[in-house]
C-alpha cells in the first residue's frame, strides 16, 4: 500500500474527476448536469449540504472546472474538511450553517453514522427512514434562508446550478428562496418520499414557479428541474 498524505490523495481524486475517470456522485448526476450546463454562461453554483466537498459531491466537478460556488455545510467536523478542500480556491465561499425557511438557530440531529457522516438533519419527522438514519444527539446550528445568503454574497440572480441535499428539509430550503428574484437555471433536489405530503408540496412549489421536471436519478433519490427560461442544448 502507498502511504499518501491528504493533499496528494486529494489531487489524485480530483484528477480522476476532472478527466472523467469514475464518478464521485451518488447516482451519476454529473453526466446529466455536464450535458445540461455545457454552455452555461453564468458559472455560479450553490451547494446546500455540500458535506466534505468530495464525497458524493455534485458540485466538485464544476468547481474543478472554474465555477464559483457557495458551499454550505452545518456539521462542524465535516465543514472543517470542506473548508480545507477549498482553502486555496478564491472562487469558493464555504459557510458553516444550515439552510431553512427562516433565520435563527435550530437543533441539528447528528446522523446515526456519526458527526462526520451524511445523515444529519433538521427534520424531526417520525418515520421508518429517519428511525434508521437519524441519531438522538443534537447540536445547535445557525440557520439562514437562501435568499439572505444570496443577497449577502451579491450572487448573480440567474446563477447556473442549485444543489439541495438537506435530508428531508429540501422543501423548507426551497421555501427560503425568493423565486421572483433568483432563478437558478438547474435545480437538483433530494426527493423525500417518506413524507408524501412534503414531497408533493416541493413539487408543487417548483411547478408553481414554472420549473419543469427534467430527470429523476437512480432509484428516485434526486430530481433535476429546469428553469422556465432554460433551453436544453442538443
| CATH of residue 150 | 3.40.50.150
Q: In tens digits, what is the pLDDT along the chain, a chain of 234 residues?
A: 445 455 665 565 565 555 444 445 556 788 899 999 999 999 999 999 999 999 889 999 999 999 999 999 999 999 999 999 999 999 999 999 999 999 999 999 898 777 887 788 887 878 776 667 777 888 999 999 999 999 999 999 999 999 999 988 999 999 999 999 999 999 999 998 889 999 999 999 999 999 999 999 877 789 999 999 998 876
Assigned domain for 222 exists: yes
Give the pTM.
Answer: 0.88
Name the average pLDDT for the chain: 88
Q: Report if residue 133 sits inside a domain.
A: yes
Q: What is the pLDDT of residue 226?
A: 98
Residue pLDDT, tens place only, 147-160: 999 999 999 999 99
Q: Is residue 181 part of a domain?
A: yes
**Residue-level pLDDT at 194:** 86
In a domain, 17, yes or no: no
Q: Is residue 14 part of a domain?
A: no
How confident is the model at residue 10, as a pLDDT?
58
Indicate the length of the chain as a whole number.
234
Nearest of 60, 109, 105 to residue 81 by alpha carbon: 60
Number of domains in the chain: 1
CA-closest candidate to residue 100, choices 132, 69, 66, 72: 72
Residue 18 falls inside a structural domain: no
Give the per-residue pLDDT at 167. Answer: 86
What was the pLDDT predicted at 203?
Answer: 98
- Residue 105 belongs to domain spanning: 26-226
DSSP secondary structure, the chain, as one string: -----HHHHHHHHHHHHHTTSS--SSSSHHHHHHHHTTT-S--EEEEET-TTSSTT-SSHHHHHTT-EEEEE---HHHHHHHHHHTTT-TTEEEE-SEE-SS-EEEEEEEETT-TTSS--BS----SHHHHHHEEEEEEEEEEE-HHHHHHHTT--TT-SEEEE--SS-HHHHHHTS-TTT---SEEEEE--TTSHHHHHHHHHHHHHTT-EEEEE-TTT-EEEEE-TT-----
pLDDT value at position 125?
78
Evaluate whether residue 66 is within a structural domain: yes
Amino acid at each position: 500500500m502507498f502511504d499518501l498524505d491528504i493533499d496528494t490523495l486529494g489531487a489524485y481524486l480530483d484528477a480522476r474527476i476532472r478527466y472523467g475517470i469514475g464518478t464521485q456522485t451518488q447516482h451519476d448526476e454529473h453526466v446529466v448536469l455536464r450535458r445540461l450546463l455545457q454552455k452555461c454562461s453564468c458559472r455560479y453554483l450553490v451547494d446546500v449540504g455540500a458535506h466534505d466537498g468530495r464525497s458524493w459531491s455534485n458540485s466538485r466537478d464544476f468547481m474543478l472546472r472554474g465555477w464559483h460556488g457557495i458551499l454550505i455545510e452545518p456539521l462542524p467536523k465535516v465543514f472543517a474538511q470542506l473548508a480545507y478542500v477549498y482553502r486555496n480556491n478564491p472562487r469558493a465561499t464555504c459557510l458553516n450553517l444550515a439552510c431553512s425557511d427562516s433565520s435563527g438557530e435550530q437543533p441539528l440531529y447528528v446522523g446515526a453514522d456519526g458527526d462526520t457522516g451524511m445523515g444529519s438533519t433538521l427534520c424531526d419527522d417520525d418515520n421508518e427512514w429517519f428511525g434508521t438514519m437519524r441519531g438522538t444527539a443534537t447540536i445547535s446550528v445557525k440557520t439562514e434562508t437562501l435568499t439572505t445568503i444570496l443577497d449577502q454574497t451579491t450572487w448573480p440572480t440567474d446563477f447556473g446550478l442549485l444543489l439541495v441535499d438537506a435530508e428531508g428539509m429540501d422543501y423548507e430550503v426551497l421555501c427560503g428562496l425568493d423565486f421572483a428574484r433568483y432563478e437558478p437555471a438547474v435545480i437538483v433536489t433530494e426527493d423525500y418520499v417518506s413524507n408524501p405530503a412534503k414531497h408533493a408540496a416541493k413539487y408543487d412549489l417548483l411547478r408553481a414557479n414554472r420549473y419543469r421536471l427534467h430527470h429523476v436519478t437512480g432509484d428516485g433519490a434526486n430530481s433535476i428541474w429546469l428553469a422556465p427560461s432554460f433551453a436544453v442544448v442538443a
